[in-house]
Amino acid sequence: MTMHAALIIDSGGGWIETFRNLCRRILEEGGVDALLVPQHLPRSPMVQYTLVRDAERLEGVNPVAPVLPLNGGTLAARLTREDPGARVAALLRPCEIRAFLELVKLHQGERQRILLLGIDCLGTFEPPEFQDWVKENSSWDGEAFLRSMRDSGRPPEGAPALRSSCQVCEHPTPEGAADVEVWLLGTDPDRLLLHSTTEEGDRLLKGLGLDPGEPPKGRQKAVTSLEEQRREARDQLFRDVSSRLLPLEKILETLSSCIHCQNCRDVCPICYCKSCVFQGPSLDHPSAQYLRWAGRKGAIKMPTETLFFHLTRMAHMSTSCVGCGQCSSACPMGIPVADIFRFVGHRTQSLFQYVPGRDLEEPLPLATFREDELSPP
Amino acid sequence: MRRIGVYICHCGTNIAGKIDVEKLAEYARGLPYVAVARDYRFMCSEPGQEQIRKDIREHGLDRVVVAACSPRMHEQTFRKVCQESGINPYFLQIANIREQCSWVSEDPAGAMHKAMDLLRAAVERVVRHRPLPSQEVRVHPDVLVVGGGIAGIQAALDIAEGGHRVHLVERLQSIGGHMAQLDKTFPTLDCSACILTPKMVAAGTHPLITLHTYSEVADVSGFVGNFRVTIRHKATYVDHKRCTGCGICQQKCPKRVPSEYEEGLGLRKAIYTLFPQAVPNKPVIDRQNCIYFTKGRCRACEKFCEMKAIDFHQEDWEEVVDVGSIIVATGYDLMDPSVMELYGYGRYPNVITPLQFERMASAAGPTGGRILLKDGKEPKDVAILHCVGSRDKNYHEYCSRVCCMYALKFAHLIRERTSANVFHFYMDMRCFGKGYEEFYERVQSEGAILIRGKAARITDEGLASEEEGRLVVHAEDTLSGESLRVPVDLVILATAMEPRSDAEDVARAFRLGRSRDGFFLEQHPKLAPVSTASAGIFLAGTCQGPKDIPDTVAHASAAAAKSLSLASRGMVEVESMVSEIDPELCAGCRTCVALCPAEAIEYLPRLRVSRIQAALCQGCGACAAACPSGAAQLKHFTSDQILSEIDALMGA
Amino acid sequence: MDAQRNDPSPAVEMGEGRMMDEGELDFGFAQEVSAEPGGEGIVKCFACGSCSAGCPVRRFHPTFNPRRIIRMVLLGMRDAVLRDPFVWLCATCFTCQERCPQGVRIADLMRALKNLALRSGNMPEGIPMQVNLLREKGTLYPLDEFDNKKRTKAGLPPLPGAHEDVGVLLGDLADLGRPKEE
């Protein structure tokens, strides 16, 4: 049930061009009716998700552009919540796949209704920084980023830094959660490497007429080394956060600049509620109540529920947080929301030995009951 | 505009002794919406209730706050008062200023402060109460009784006599339980079999009792009035419809194994009935010991069975029954005394358990009723050790309640059948029942030797040649202060009754609580001794705590009365405080569906939302706690009600 | 039946069968003992006698009866308990404590009673002698020449006969061993 195939990169086009051709073939020969894939939109430096049914509309496809306009897990869920009536495939990064699997557990999407192509993620920039960088480098096509990351593990000279969440992400590969994996780490520069891990994936590769091949030798080492590096960075971040956040009063300081835009919640792939409890009737207090509070304390911040909002969101989603960092990117006040949530999420997830998005068979910790949970091993 | 009446109970001096109730009423008058506030000696008394009714009428109250004892005590009382006066019963809030305030506080000023906080929170909460309708569901007329000992048999017979069908589930192949093993019963010395077997036969032949022997309850779902029970019938390898119980198979079976019924003192075959008067009197094949099942040949039973009833291919099968209530009568285990090294059980063959003695004393038992040592000789001296594993913090702290009496009965039986001296080693003689003290006196006059002291240990170290091969009991007779060593031939350990080894699984299956001693927990130790925290599930007999036969039978009849009253009314009021899901907010994640212990939530795929079936909901609130969007809310415990209560508690 | 006769003669204070006047009893004594470390569980005793029945000291010293001591404490026989040397007989073997069905820490209780006795100035003569030995030699069993000769023969290094510094650890307790200045 695993198969390996390599496409030779034609000397003219490079990796990205070879991948666009692959997408074309997937739509034309792979039995796939629609493909969700990131593309440069016409006349825009930005890369956005597109849902493509016409194989001629793939000219801007760029899966290695280091930007995550939103967590595509949400899109995959949206496309599979009901039967889409056609065979859909999506190219997603590992954090997006993991978010999607969490949403599947929350019945917001259906895994069987989509063919997942998972790509190794080398990291992403903050979207505005990415956009500015592309604007300033008119010849930019992504190949240079790919090369630089593979060769040195760092973005090319003059490029922005990776987002904090990407720097500490210890899941840079799809880890078997997709049907077909697109490998970038530890591979030959002149090969585009595909690796299927499910029967569906095998069928796609065979349908495209690709022959089984040998996996690249350096793969395991490259992945392990990157994961190791990321884990170290993650632990460093946790130390920073804990010195910034603890004791608990400090969290108030950090959150004191929150302007209640609730962007963090809007972009969070795990926040799946139709309407947030903070917009519902239970926290809609009578006018007199505010005056009473102000009377009791002398003065209160308005609106009142800054800390409560973040803590509630944390309580609701921290066990499922995949660390995609969208919340930080969306915060107009530069609050390191994602750092805080990863820090807390790591602890709540460890408490239940739970890794979000790892396996559909693992139940959500807060939706199940085990007799041995929360007890020392 | 709400109009609230606040009523502060003195509860005699229970509350008023610590809290200035008049000042508290004065404080209440200053709270928002409060139209009237009063204090009274006993709010729960008829004049107290009447005052509330009068105020509702005259002051046009639409909400009531009672500051008194726990709502567990009188919430229903005051809800009824509201209802009688024409306002919804849920327009009431109790502020518990007794259990949670005056009783637990030593500082009157602090208690007063806390009472004010609790009262203020109750007032803030009650204004947000919404009316809830009362709802009733039908009660399935049938009853499940789990356990076929004397408790289960008695309960089943009482219910069947009342005209309702009973499913009686028994783990073993015959009903009868421990009582079927006993010889005589104290204090009247009736033969146990003589009084039990008629009841067994009555249960076995009653048209309204369905016996499910050699069976276990595999699953219980549903709630009061409507339980669905899965019964697993273990394979007997004998077609009981064909079998006539002629017994030829047992005669011909070549395999002998120690008999559990005879407590290891006798042998049984691999195909066997428990005892001659078993109900049903049909054998089962013990797969672990059957030669055919272990070695693949033999089938002697099959060859000789004229009815062709042997069926080696039988498999376990399951059956689902619907019942309205359940009586748990799963009984007790006798403690295994081998853990008490100092008494040498298991090491000295002539140290035996009380059930082993019962079998030995029984005319139908392995010795034909003769009291004998392992070597077949009659004992000259017998020791009975009381409180073995009972009243002992190292084992069971509780008193097992029956040991004193059966120990005295043993003394009588030994004196009646042998010329042996009988030494009792006891700490206190507890003879509390009807005719028990008289029996104690009788046994004393029959020559039993009573030594008030706990036996410290039993050894086989004889000091003189005539002590060789005997057992020596070491104890102090605390009344004379003498330290004794008493050589005897036979020692009977009066071991503790303890919860059955599978009590935890049974508790989980039937959603029962357990008390500290491990027995199943009754709803109230005095006023609801057969009810449990799960509505419609009742306890009978020793699964609730050690009992003798009279108490067990009384307890079982009480449980039967509970089941009958549910069945005869045919309807039961179910919780109005149920959950509700707002379809506008529900994202259809179904987290609540998985968490609901009542299986009361269904998912509607077309609307992509979940919905609560109010009749099944038990109001536990698991769904409301888990729902992130607040779509699921437990009525009467909605977020705004709880938050306003907390908020009022936090500050004036 | 074989009973070991108790010799009641040395224990007049134990009040065998004697009429006692209420004035002789100190009803706060049980509380006082309960407050001592080790004495906490004493009120739980239901006098089953399994402590006495298993006591090895009692075999040789029939006046020693832990059950009776507990009863005497509970009854308030303060003077009898603290003055009589019998609490000092306990060998601290813990047999009683392990067997007690009520979880009374009897061996610990004996230590508590010794402490109380000591505070009220009651102790057997041997105790100051032992303290003296400890103060002077640092050990209850001081080595002498003979021991060291044997050690040398066996190829072992000699040991000091006394550890004077141990006496320092005794602190004020060391005074117990000094002859009383009267």
Mean pLDDT (chain C) is 82
Give me the phi and psi of A170, to 5 degrees please: -95, 15
Burial of B368 (0-12, 13-18, 19+ CB in 10 A): exposed
Whether the link from the prior residue into C8 is cis, omega within 30° of 0, is no
What DSSP string runs through B99-142?
IIIITT-S-HHHHHHHHHHHHHHHHHHHTT------EEEEPPS-
- Tokens coding A93: 């990064």
Q: Point out the residue among C1, C6, C50 whose CB comes nearest to the CB of B481.
A: C6
* Percentage of residues in chain A having pLDDT higher than 90: 70
Q: What is the pLDDT of residue A5?
A: 82
In 3-state terms, what secondary structure has residue A253? Answer: helix
- The single-letter DSSP state of residue B309 is -
Q: What is the pLDDT of residue B650?
A: 86
Q: Domain for residue A298, yes or no?
A: yes
Q: What is the pLDDT of residue B585?
A: 94
Strand partners, A290: none
**CB–CB contact C48 B478 (8 Å):** yes
**CB–CB contact C54 B393 (8 Å):** no
If we measure between CA atoms, which residue out of B513, B520, B611, B505 comes closest to residue B216? B505
Residues 6+ apart with CB under 8 A from B64: B4, B5, B7, B52, B56, B78, B81, B82, B87, B91, B92, B93, B126
Same domain, A283 and A362: yes
CA–CA min distance A365, chain B (Å): 11
Q: How far is CA C80 from CA A191, B371, B374, C59, C88, in A?
A: 99, 49, 50, 22, 13
Q: How far is CA B383 from CA B471, B487, C5, in A?
A: 9, 9, 22
Residues across chain A: 377
For C106-136, b/e burial (b = at least 16 CB within 10 A) is bbbbbbbbbebbeeeebbeeebbeebbbbbb
How far separated are the first and last CA of chain C, in Å rounded?
54
Q: Which helix (H) or strand (E) holds A28?
A: helix A14-29
Q: Is C68 on the interface with B (CB under 8 A)?
A: yes
If we measure between CA atoms, which residue out of A76, A45, A40, A75 comes closest to residue A58? A40
- Tokens coding B52: 């509330």
- Angle of helix A94-105 relative to helix A72-80, nearest 10 degrees, comes to 40
Q: Point out the residue among C52, C100, C101 whose CB comes nearest to the CB of B476.
A: C52
**CB–CB contact C65 B481 (8 Å):** yes
Residues across chain B: 652
Same domain, A269 and A361: yes
Q: Is B640 on the interface with A (CB under 8 A)?
A: yes
Q: What is the pLDDT of residue B134?
A: 83
Q: What is the pLDDT of residue C179?
A: 55
Please report how many Cα atoms fall inside a 13 Å half-sphere around the Cα of residue B410, on the Cβ side. 31
User: Quick one: how far is CA B175 from the chain centroid?
Assistant: 19
Give me the phi and psi of C101, to 5 degrees please: -70, -15
- Supply the range of the domain harboring residue A30: 3-225
CA–CA min distance B626, chain A (Å): 7
pLDDT of residue C181 exceeding 60: no
Residues on chain C touching B474 (C-beta within 8 angstroms): 53-54
Tell me the C-alpha distance between B379 and B422, whole Å: 10
* Percentage of residues in chain C having pLDDT higher than 70: 85
Vertex B114 angle, CA B112 and B119, to 5°: 95
Please report how many Cα atoms fall inside a 13 Å half-sphere around the Cα of residue A183, on the Cβ side. 27
When comparing pLDDT for C178 and B426, which is higher?
B426
Across the range A221-240, mean pLDDT stands at 95
Q: How far is CA C61 from CA A123, A321, B339, B453, C112, in A?
A: 85, 74, 31, 20, 21
Q: What is the pLDDT of residue B66?
A: 98
Q: What is the pLDDT of residue C18?
A: 67
* The dihedral sign for the CA sequence C98, C99, C100, C106: negative
Give residue C160's pLDDT band: very low, low, confident or very high (50, 70, 90).
confident
Q: What is the pLDDT of residue B129?
A: 96
Number of domains comprising chain A? 2
Give residue C17's pLDDT band: very low, low, confident or very high (50, 70, 90).
low
Our answer on whether A and C touch (3+ beta-carbon pairs < 8 Å) is no
Same domain, A286 and A219: no
Q: What is the CATH number that goes with domain C12-119?
A: 1.10.1060.10
Ramachandran region, residue A234 (left: φ > 0; alpha: ψ -120 to 50; beta: rest):
alpha
pLDDT of residue A213 exceeding 80: yes
Taking only the tens place, the pLDDT of each residue in C138-148 is 888 878 888 88
Vertex B153 angle, CA B147 and B159, to 5°: 110
In 3-state terms, what secondary structure has residue C138? Answer: coil
**CB–CB contact C54 B456 (8 Å):** yes
Same domain, A13 and A151: yes
Least confident of A20-34, A207-221, B367-381: A207-221
pLDDT of residue A377 exceeding 60: no
Q: What is the pLDDT of residue A364?
A: 93
Please report how many Cα atoms fall inside a 13 Å half-sphere around the Cα of residue B141, on the Cβ side. 8
Least confident of A293-297, B77-81, C170-174: C170-174
* Mean pLDDT per 10-residue section of chain B, whose length is 652 residues: 94 96 97 96 96 96 97 93 95 97 96 97 95 90 98 98 98 97 96 96 98 96 92 97 95 96 96 95 96 95 95 96 98 97 96 97 95 95 97 96 97 96 97 96 95 95 86 94 94 98 95 95 93 94 98 98 96 89 95 89 95 87 93 93 91 68
Q: What is the pLDDT of residue C174?
A: 67
Q: What is the pLDDT of residue B135?
A: 82
Taking only the tens place, the pLDDT of each residue in A143-155 is 889 989 988 888 9
- Would you say B506 and B328 are in contact if contact means Cβ atoms under 8 Å apart? yes
- Tokens coding C39: 């004495």
**CB–CB contact A274 B647 (8 Å):** no
Same domain, A15 and A65: yes
Residues 6+ apart with CB under 8 A from A51: A34, A35, A36, A79
Q: Domain for residue A373, yes or no?
A: no
The sheet with strand B490-495 has its strands ordered as B351-352, B490-495, B381-388, B421-426, B449-452
- Tokens coding C76: 């308030």
- Would you say B136 and B572 are in contact if contact means Cβ atoms under 8 Å apart? yes
Tell me the C-alpha distance between C45 and C92, whole Å: 19
Give residue C15's pLDDT band: very low, low, confident or very high (50, 70, 90).
very low
If we measure between CA atoms, which residue out of A14, A26, A13, A16 comes closest to residue A210? A26
Q: How many CB atoms are located within 10 Å of the residue B511 CB?
A: 14
Residues on chain C touching B387 (C-beta within 8 angstroms): 48, 101
pLDDT of residue C24 exceeding 90: no
Give residue C176's pLDDT band: very low, low, confident or very high (50, 70, 90).
low
Burial of A97 (0-12, 13-18, 19+ CB in 10 A): buried
What DSSP string runs through B77-89?
HHHHHHHHTTS-T
If we measure between CA atoms, which residue out of B553, B113, B541, B545 comes closest to residue B329? B541
Domain boundaries defined on chain C: 12-119, 126-177
**CB–CB contact B483 C58 (8 Å):** yes
CA–CA min distance B630, chain A (Å): 6
Q: Point out the residue among C54, C67, C101 whose CB comes nearest to the CB of B457.
A: C54
- Would you say A38 and A47 are in contact if contact means Cβ atoms under 8 Å apart? yes
Give residue A29's pLDDT band: very low, low, confident or very high (50, 70, 90).
very high
Q: Which amino acid is at A148?
A: S
CA–CA min distance B503, chain A (Å): 16
Q: How many CB atoms are located within 10 Å of the residue B317 CB?
A: 11
> CA-CA-CA-CA torsion for A200, A203, A205, A209, nearest 10 degrees?
-170
pLDDT of residue A251 exceeding 90: no
If we measure between CA atoms, which residue out of B349, B364, B396, B35 comes closest to residue B183? B364
Q: Domain for residue A188, yes or no?
A: yes
C positions 9-28 inside 8 Å of B (CB): 16
- Tokens coding A197: 């891990």
Q: Domain for residue A280, yes or no?
A: yes
Q: Which residue of B has its CA nearest to C51?
A: B456
Domains of chain B: 4-132 (3.40.50.960), 143-234+316-331+500-569 (3.50.50.60), 248-304 (no CATH), 333-498 (3.50.50.60), 579-635 (3.30.70.20)
**CB–CB contact B484 C2 (8 Å):** yes
Q: Which amino acid is at B116?
A: M
**CB–CB contact A274 B586 (8 Å):** yes
User: Quick one: how far is CA B150 from the chain centroid?
Assistant: 14
